[in-house]
């Protein structure tokens, strides 16, 4: 990310020249610029703007832009903390601005646990650049050397004389200086960090607790109408005939409008259907119930989850596409010894964000302005533009707070629906998905069937391991003929299993998608790590060994895994360079060892309804071990009194938000393990609301989760997702320890434990 | 014409008496602190108080609040300083925050009845309120902190 002095050029397509804008900001009343500021932000029009992410005004206010979306990770606060620290700003004088969708901010898809990984450096440089320029401006004013001046808490001090100038007093002069080259910047030493690694509170805390926080669901525009869409019940279906007479009789209903079905592949296009437009959300919902629609159901009308499960598991019994190979598993199996094998299955899962998808779009004069809880504002621009045949730059996407995301809100089909309806009606449209819509028309986390087979020598050492995985791929989103996964899905627990086994092969078998498939918090790790680490536990028991000790033995010595020599040509590595973020098994061993110590592993003998389980994995370049304790009562009901999450996520910016993400990951893991299942018959999703798609409630979630963050100076890794994958097998392993019952098919609610 | 007192102010409504209170609050009064989560009384995001009792506003029809007193999160405290709100901030409970007003409103009604709740009592009382981010252990801790302050 290069930094340039944007005070010297138009910012984000503004109509003023930069000089005029600065001047205008001094002379014109605030209201005259309100529209401009709404689009471009106060950081952009500030006196000192060393980066598109930061501006300093003469009144001392520091504006920091968060171009990433806030869905609960705290990123809206955490990235600005990085810049504020390097600037040595007084946090009480920092105002956070939410960036609109704009490619000039760089990647805005708040996904893949990569906001800090991707933008730590840019925000640090933004703060350091501003600080350097302020110090230079002060030194020039005093006629002294910059090396005699120090910036501290919004004030530059000339150390020998004690003279002081505030950041605000220096902003204009500093704004006229050239922005230092990144390689010339000096960063603060760790000992002087004011915010990084320290306890901070999120900027929206008070607003959230008082109901003032603005989520997508809360936005309004003058003249706005509400819309609710009846979509084809089977993916790929379309309207055959429609009768809206009764719907139009409902009080408050204004009109109906059709939305065309998508053209395959499904991408981020709307599913199509019929919208009811009304003067309240309730009227739109009521009117929709009165629609009479005959559907063409298309090719997926006979899709049945039970049948599909059989097909996935049968396919997993057959050789597939090899995605990693070490040694020769077939030769090792032929030698005999103890053979262990098992099938695993994870059903489709829905995101079920607390705020269902919702979007407000206003089409006017060939342009669209949208207010959206989105993880991906640039995709909103592209998708809306594609749907209406306009240019992406003619779509302005304002990003609200998100009531949860988990990957669902990276896919802006719901914004395209709102924009299409706004164009058709000539009114601003707020389009609200019901919970039923959310669960029936999601981009589901893939269902997967897996087969594991291992051989063990007479000392109980695993000598060969075959891992086959079959799932409808996310690539079906962009390729209607997709039958296989791709390196992103392989790199999440299939071709990066960290075990040091002389013979190992990973394979991917073919499967066709019959619903929209998308990514959900930790993605393919969910099924790969559940099955892989459950099977590792099976091997430990087959060998008569302690599961924690056995997992450490499987991992082997600390080393950097050399994937290239193991037939993995295009190891994904979460989009990062392998040199900067190698797979280091020493770090994986360490989180496991600490998890053992913290949890008092081995001190109590499992059985009689009490058990403890462990699993560790690397994902999103971070290393996490989960230990889960369970109690299974005489009715087979599972309680989770305690869990430990030990995480090496590299350098930590905001420790409390790291802890909260791992606490939350344990709860989401519990939801996946206990009750998560979407299933279809006749091509239709059977679940409809939280009664049929239960998620963990307070009395089902872990009673207590202790998070231990490993001290690390490694580059920052992912935080939002890596806590989910190891939790699920650790839970399953604990249930096995408690009951002797090995559950290989999620969710646990389908199985009787006693 | 339905009359209802909301946060101390008399309001009138002459629309569909079957419309849930939630939509009157959100769409007509712009009181958006009360959230839509499920529309079926299953998640608790829409919790408000009717005559002091926690109810789900998404399944409570306007005809069933006629003549009643409603408190929403906007009316819970004058300055966002209800002991629960303070405890929530002290414990950094929220992640995305969407469910939290409903959680706070449910907890506020609960603490009026039970001044010294145990873990089990809190879990039983709060299990109708879903938090998909998984902030439950902080919610439990914050309720205990607030209970101490209120006792």
Looking at the DSSP bridge assignments, the partners of residue A48 are A56
**Which residue of chain B is at minimal alpha-carbon distance from A406?**
B133
In angstroms, rounded to a whole number, what is the distance separating the alpha carbons of residues A464 and A723?
28
| Same domain? B99 vs B143 | yes
| Same domain? B91 vs B132 | yes
- B136 CB neighbours in chain A (<8 A) are 667, 697-698, 701
Q: Report pLDDT digits (tens) over A627-669.
A: 999 999 999 999 999 999 999 999 999 999 999 999 999 999 9
Q: Report pLDDT digits (tens) over A37-62.
A: 344 578 888 899 999 999 999 999 99
SS3 assignment for A607-637? ECCEEEEEEEEEECCEEEEEEEEEEECCCCC
pLDDT at res. A44: 81
- HSE, side-chain direction, 13 A CA sphere, residue B62: 18
Q: Is A27's pLDDT higher than 60?
A: no
- B44 CB neighbours in chain A (<8 A) are none
pLDDT at res. A43: 84
Per-domain residue ranges of chain A: 6-198, 216-299+357-432, 305-349+443-750
| Same domain? B6 vs B67 | yes
Contact between B16 and A282 using a beta-carbon 8 Å cutoff:
yes
pLDDT at res. A338: 96
What CATH number has the domain bearing residue B90? 1.10.150.120
pLDDT at res. A42: 85
For residues A257-281, give the mean pLDDT: 98
Contact between B40 and A691 using a beta-carbon 8 Å cutoff:
yes
| Same domain? B6 vs B71 | yes
Contact between A698 and B139 using a beta-carbon 8 Å cutoff:
yes
Q: Please give the tally of structural domains in chain B.
A: 2
For residues A498-516, give the mean pLDDT: 98
Q: Is A30's pLDDT higher than 70?
A: no
Contact between A703 and B137 using a beta-carbon 8 Å cutoff:
yes
Q: Report pLDDT digits (tens) over A13-23.
A: 322 222 222 22
Nearest CA to A421 out of A714, A156, A225 is that of: A225
Among B44, B75, B106, identify where a domain stops. B75
- B28 CB neighbours in chain A (<8 A) are 280
| Same domain? B69 vs B88 | no
- CATH top class, domain A216-299+357-432: alpha beta
In angstroms, rounded to a whole number, what is the distance separating the alpha carbons of residues A71 and A404?
5
Yes or no: domain A305-349+443-750 corresponds to CATH 3.30.365.10: yes
- A435 CB neighbours in chain B (<8 A) are 37-40, 42-43
| Same domain? B8 vs B68 | yes
H-helix segments, chain B: 21-23, 83-90, 100-113, 119-126, 136-150
For residues A109-125, give the mean pLDDT: 95
- Reading chain B (151 residues) residue by residue, the pLDDT tens digits are 999 999 999 999 999 999 999 999 999 999 999 999 999 999 999 999 999 999 999 999 999 999 999 999 999 999 999 999 999 999 999 999 999 999 999 999 999 999 999 999 999 999 999 999 999 999 999 999 999 999 8
| Same domain? B142 vs B102 | yes
**Which residue of chain B is at minimal alpha-carbon distance from A201?**
B92
Q: Is A11's pLDDT higher than 80?
A: no
In this prediction, residue A454 has a pLDDT band, given cuts at 50, 70 and 90, of very high
Q: Report pLDDT digits (tens) over A548-571.
A: 999 999 999 999 999 999 999 899
| Pick from A283, A689, A704: CB nearest B137 | A704
| Same domain? B55 vs B104 | no
Among B75, B109, B131, identify where a domain stops. B75
- B89 CB neighbours in chain A (<8 A) are 201, 205-206, 209
| Same domain? B140 vs B88 | yes
| Pick from A209, A282, A663: CB nearest B94 | A209
The pair of structure tokens assigned to A716 is: 């920052």
What CATH number has the domain bearing residue B46? 3.10.20.30
Contact between A660 and B95 using a beta-carbon 8 Å cutoff:
yes
Residues in chain B, overall count: 151
- B93 CB neighbours in chain A (<8 A) are 209
User: Which domain range does residue B54 map to?
Assistant: 2-75
Nearest CA to B23 out of B36, B38, B41, B9 is that of: B36
Would you give the DSSP letter of residue A710? Answer: P
For residues A110-134, give the mean pLDDT: 96
Would you give the DSSP letter of residue A243? Answer: E
- CATH top class, domain A6-198: alpha beta
Q: Is A5's pLDDT higher than 50?
A: no
In angstroms, rounded to a whole number, what is the distance separating the alpha carbons of residues A213 and A207?
5
**Which residue of chain B is at minimal alpha-carbon distance from A214?**
B32
Q: Mutate which of B133, B139, B141, B145 to test chain A, going by most A C-beta atoms within 10 A?
A: B133
pLDDT at res. A587: 98
- Residue A418: phi and psi, rounded to 5, are -65, -40
pLDDT at res. A754: 87
The pair of structure tokens assigned to A488 is: 């992103």
For residues A313-339, give the mean pLDDT: 97
Contact between B85 and A209 using a beta-carbon 8 Å cutoff:
yes
Contact between B20 and A218 using a beta-carbon 8 Å cutoff:
no
| Same domain? B12 vs B71 | yes
User: Between residues A168 and A28, which one has the greater pLDDT?
Assistant: A168
pLDDT at res. A40: 58
Among B32, B55, B75, identify where a domain stops. B75
Q: Report pLDDT digits (tens) over A716-727.
A: 999 999 999 999
Q: Is A12's pLDDT higher than 50?
A: no
Contact A156, A170 (CB under 8 A): yes
Measure the N-to-C terminal CA separation of chain A; round to a whole number of Å: 58
Q: Is A455's pLDDT higher than 50?
A: yes
| Pick from B32, B99, B119: CB nearest A354 | B99
pLDDT at res. A64: 97
- HSE, side-chain direction, 13 A CA sphere, residue A631: 10
In angstroms, rounded to a whole number, what is the distance separating the alpha carbons of residues A610 and A628?
11
Q: Report pLDDT digits (tens) over A424-440.
A: 999 999 999 999 999 99
Q: Report pLDDT digits (tens) over A336-359.
A: 899 999 999 999 999 999 999 999
| Same domain? B145 vs B88 | yes
């Amino acid at each position: 990310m290069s930094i340039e002095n944007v005070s010297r050029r138009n910012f984000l397509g503004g109509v003023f020249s930069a000089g005029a804008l600065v001047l205008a900001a001094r002379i014109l009343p605030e209201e005259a610029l309100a529209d401009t500021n709404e689009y471009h932000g106060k950081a952009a029009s500030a006196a000192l703007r060393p980066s598109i992410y930061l501006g300093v005004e003469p009144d001392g206010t520091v504006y920091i832009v968060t171009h990433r979306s806030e869905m609960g990770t705290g990123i809206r606060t955490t990235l600005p903390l990085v810049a504020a620290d390097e600037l040595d700003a007084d946090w009480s004088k920092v105002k956070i601005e939410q960036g609109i969708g704009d490619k000039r901010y760089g990647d805005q898809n708040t996904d893949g646990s990569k906001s800090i990984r991707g933008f730590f450096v840019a925000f640090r440089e933004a703060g350091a650049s501003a600080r350097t320029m302020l110090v230079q401006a002060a030194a020039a004013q005093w006629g002294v050397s910059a090396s005699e001046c120090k910036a501290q808490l919004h004030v530059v001090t000339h150390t020998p004389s004690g003279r002081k100038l505030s950041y605000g007093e220096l902003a204009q002069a500093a704004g006229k200086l050239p922005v230092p080259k990144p390689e010339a910047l000096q960063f603060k030493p760790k000992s002087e960090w004011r915010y990084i690694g320290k306890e901070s509170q999120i900027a929206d805390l008070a607003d959230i607790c008082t109901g003032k926080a603005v989520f997508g669901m809360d936005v309004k525009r003058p003249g706005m109408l509400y819309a609710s869409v009846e979509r084809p019940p089977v993916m790929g279906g379309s309207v055959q005939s429609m009768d809206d007479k009764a719907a139009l009789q409902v009080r408050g209903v204004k009109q109906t409008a059709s939305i065309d079905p998508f053209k395959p592949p499904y991408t981020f296009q709307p599913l199509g259907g019929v919208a009811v437009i009304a003067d309240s959300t309730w009227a739109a919902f009521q009117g929709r119930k009165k629609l009479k629609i005959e559907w063409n159901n298309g090719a997926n009308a006979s899709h049945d989850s039970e049948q599909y499960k059989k097909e996935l598991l049968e396919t997993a019994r057959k050789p597939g596409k090899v995605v990693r190979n070490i040694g020769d598993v077939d030769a090792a199996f032929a030698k005999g010894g103890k053979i262990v094998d098992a099938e695993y299955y994870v059903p489709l899962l829905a995101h079920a964000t607390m705020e269902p998808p919702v979007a407000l779009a206003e089409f006017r004069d060939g342009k669209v302005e949208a207010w959206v809880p989105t993880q991906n504002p640039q995709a909103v621009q592209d998708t809306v533009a594609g749907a209406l045949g306009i240019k992406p730059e003619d779509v302005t996407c304002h990003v609200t707070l998100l009531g949860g995301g988990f990957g669902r809100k990276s896919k802006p089909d719901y914004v395209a629906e709102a924009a299409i309806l706004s164009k058709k009606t000539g009114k601003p449209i707020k389009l609200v998905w019901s919970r039923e819509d959310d669960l029936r028309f999601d981009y589901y986390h893939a269902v997967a069937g897996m087969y594991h087979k291992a051989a063990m020598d007479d000392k109980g050492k695993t000598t060969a391991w075959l891992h086959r995985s079959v799932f409808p791929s996310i690539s079906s989103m962009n390729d209607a003929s997709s039958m296989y996964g791709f390196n992103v899905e392989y790199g999440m627990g299939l071709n990066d299993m960290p075990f040091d086994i002389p013979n190992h092969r990973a394979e991917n078998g073919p499967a066709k998608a019959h619903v929209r498939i998308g990514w959900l918090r930790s993605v393919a790790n969910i099924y790969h790590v559940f099955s892989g680490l459950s099977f590792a536990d099976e091997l430990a028991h087959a060998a008569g060994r302690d599961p924690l000790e056995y997992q450490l033995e499987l991992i082997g010595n600390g080393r950097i895994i050399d994937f290239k020599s193991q037939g993995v040509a295009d190891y994904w590595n979460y989009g990062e360079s392998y040199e900067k973020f190698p797979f280091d098994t020493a770090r994986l061993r360490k989180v496991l060892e600490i998890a053992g110590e913290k949890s008092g592993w081995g001190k109590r003998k499992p059985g009689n309804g009490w058990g403890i389980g462990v699993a560790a994995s690397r994902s999103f370049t971070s290393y996490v071990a989960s230990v889960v304790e369970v109690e299974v009562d005489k009715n087979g009901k599972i309680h989770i009194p305690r869990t430990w999450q030990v995480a090496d996520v590299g350098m930590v910016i905001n420790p409390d938000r790291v802890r909260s993400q791992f606490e939350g990951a344990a709860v989401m893991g519990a939801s996946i393990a206990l009750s998560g299942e979407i299933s279809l018959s006749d091509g239709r999703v059977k679940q409809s609301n939280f009664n049929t798609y239960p998620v963990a409630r307070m009395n089902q979630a872990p009673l207590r989760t202790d998070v231990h963050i490993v001290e690390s100076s490694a580059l920052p890794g992912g935080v939002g997702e890596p806590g989910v994958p190891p939790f699920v097998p650790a839970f399953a392993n604990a249930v096995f320890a408690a009951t002797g019952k090995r559950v290989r098919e999620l969710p646990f609610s389908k199985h009787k434990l006693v | 014409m339905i009359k209802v007192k909301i946060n101390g102010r008399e309001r009138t409504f002459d629309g569909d008496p079957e419309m849930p209170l939630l939509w009157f609050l959100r769409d007509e009064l712009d009181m958006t602190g009360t959230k839509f989560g499920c529309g079926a009384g299953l998640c608790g995001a829409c919790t408000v108080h009717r005559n002091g009792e926690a109810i789900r506003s998404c399944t409570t029809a306007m005809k069933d609040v006629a003549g009643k007193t409603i408190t929403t999160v906007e009316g819970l405290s004058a300055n966002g300083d209800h002991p629960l709100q303070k405890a929530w901030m002290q414990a950094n409970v929220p992640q995305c925050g969407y469910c939290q007003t409903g959680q706070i409103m449910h907890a506020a009604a609960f603490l009026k009845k039970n001044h010294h709740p145990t873990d089990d009592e809190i879990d039983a009382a709060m299990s109708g309120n879903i938090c998909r981010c998984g902030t439950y252990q902080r919610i439990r801790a914050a309720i205990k902190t607030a209970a101490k302050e209120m006792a």
